Every structure is written in C-alpha cells, then in structure tokens.
Homo-oligomer: A and B are copies of this chain.
Amino acid sequence: MAQVLKGAPVVDAMNERMVEAVASLGKKGVVPTLAVLRVGDRADQISYEKGATKRAEAVGVAVQHIALPEEISQIALMAVVKGLNADKGVHGVLMLHPLPERLSEEEVRQVLDPAKDVDGITDGSLAGVFSGLDESFAPCTPTACMEILDHYGIECQGKRAVVVGRSLVVGKPAAMMLMKKNATVTVCHTKTVDLPSITREADIVIAAAGQVESLTAEYFSPGQTVIDVGIHMNAETHKLCGDVKFDEVEPIVAAISPVPGGVGSVTSSVLVRHVIESALRA
C-alpha cells in the first residue's frame, strides 16, 4: 500500500501561508489581483477560469475577468495586454490558451511583462527556469509537482529522478527544478528505447507523457515516489485518470499522487501564489 500524495493537504498548507501574505499586503492597501484574459468562450477555458477564481478568492486574491470576443484582432488583443502591463492594480496576467488559431500567442508572449507572467510563458520566465534563478515565475504545473514532493518531505538531493515527457510546460521545467534540488535527472520521451528499464531505476518518477494510463506495473519498482501529471478521461470507465495505471502501480511503489486530486488540484494554488509573490515584489 503506497502513501497517496493527495493535493488537498498541500493546498491547505499553501492557503494558510497565502492568507497571511494577503493580510500583510492588505495593511499596505494592496489587494493582489489576477487578470484572466480569455478570447472566445471555450467551455474548458471557462471551467478552468472558474476553478482558478474560486481558489484565488478563497485567500483574498481578486480576479479581473477580461473576456474578449472570438473575432478580436491581434492589434486589439495586444493593446489589452499592454494595458494590463501598465495597470498597477494588476499583479499577474493569465492568458487562457489556446487562442483562436487566427491569433498569435507568440506575439502575446513577447509583449507580456515578465514581472506579471504568473503562468511562466515569457522568454524571461523560461530563461529563469533554465538558469535556476528565482527571479521569474516558473510554469505552474511542474511547480505543483515540486510542492507535492516538498510537502510530503520527499528528499530530492542525490536521488535519481526520471521525467517522462519533454514538453516546455511540464517535462523540461520539471527536470530543471529537480536538478536544482540536486537530483540526478533523466528526461525520457517518445524516442526513448526501453523506457520501463529506465523508469524502474528511478527513485522519483514524474509522469508527464500525456498518454492515458500508459505507465503500467512493468514501469515501476518498490520504494519509488510517483507524481502523475496526466489528466485524461478514460474512454471505458468515463472517469478521470492519469498517465499512470493507478490500480496496478499503487501496490508496487512507496508513494503516488492520485488523478484527480493530485497535481492538478495544486496547480491553481501555485498560480494564485505567484500573483501574491508578484504583489509582494511590486
């Protein structure tokens, strides 16, 4: 029986510290504020926005909802981003994505003020993660993985960590963060030969392959800690599931994060904390 690394206690602990920080900002008359920029009305984006708003408001972080019409021009969108850069009452900007295909995310990325880039999408933020500096904001999902490891006291130094997946939003930044914590990190991907032989040797496995329950029993060995970043809908059971086949793997390993209720649940708290950190720095 593995320890189940649930997200809820991590969120509770983060909330406690965030409420204190918001109170101290309040004494200076500052209300940390997140602007959520949405173009169009995709259901998944609206749902994510609702979740993040609830999490923010619970700790006293205000949310400005900026809903732009599907047919907005690039120029008008850029003007909105520049306006948010200039607005001293806004401490963080979350641009929901994907944008409609017609629009360039890259242009937004180039213009957004790195100091307000709480979702870690600008070059300045990426360079910060790569450099290992803490001056910018790292993407929220890999940060949530590290929060879980931290909260449950799982040591990284001197350990072998394997990250499955090399995306710019999860795999690569997770690798950098684990490296900063002095783990010896291997990044695996679709071209990796004999993946199970590599994951079995790890102390910590971060599963960010984006493949429904693709990491089965043969990928794991006793004593391991497994953090599952995947979120998928299982076509047979119609339940949410991860990259790891939980029922098979949980009996083998020492600790595993569940899906749902694991990494995903911590991610929006990381976003909210970034807004507070930005307000503290401003």
Q: Annotate A161-196 by CB proximity to B: 1 below 8 A, 0 otherwise.
A: 000001010001001100100101111110111000
Establish whether residues B192 and A184, one from each chain, have CB atoms under 8 Å apart when the complex forms: yes
Q: Is the Cβ of B123 less than 8 Å from the Cβ of A168?
A: no
Q: Number of contacting residues on A, CB 8 A? A: 28
Any B CB within 8 A of the CB of A261 = no
Over the window 96-133 of chain A, the binary record of Cβ atoms lying under 8 Å from chain B Cβ atoms (1 yes, 0 no) is 00000000000000000000000000011011111110
Q: How many copies does the complex hold?
A: 2
A189: chain B residues within 8 A (beta carbon): 179, 182, 184
A198 within 8 Å of B by Cβ?
yes
Q: Say yes or no: A187 contacts B184, CB within 8 Å.
A: yes
Contact between chains at A158 and B193 (CB < 8 Å)? yes
Chain B residues closer than 8 Å to A157, beta-carbon distance: 191
The answer to whether A184 touches B186 (Cβ under 8 A) is yes
24 contacts between A and B (CB under 8 A): A123-B127, A124-B127, A126-B130, A126-B131, A127-B130, A129-B130, A130-B130, A130-B172, A158-B191, A158-B192, A158-B193, A166-B179, A172-B176, A172-B179, A179-B187, A179-B189, A182-B189, A182-B191, A184-B186, A184-B189, A184-B191, A184-B193, A184-B198, A186-B186
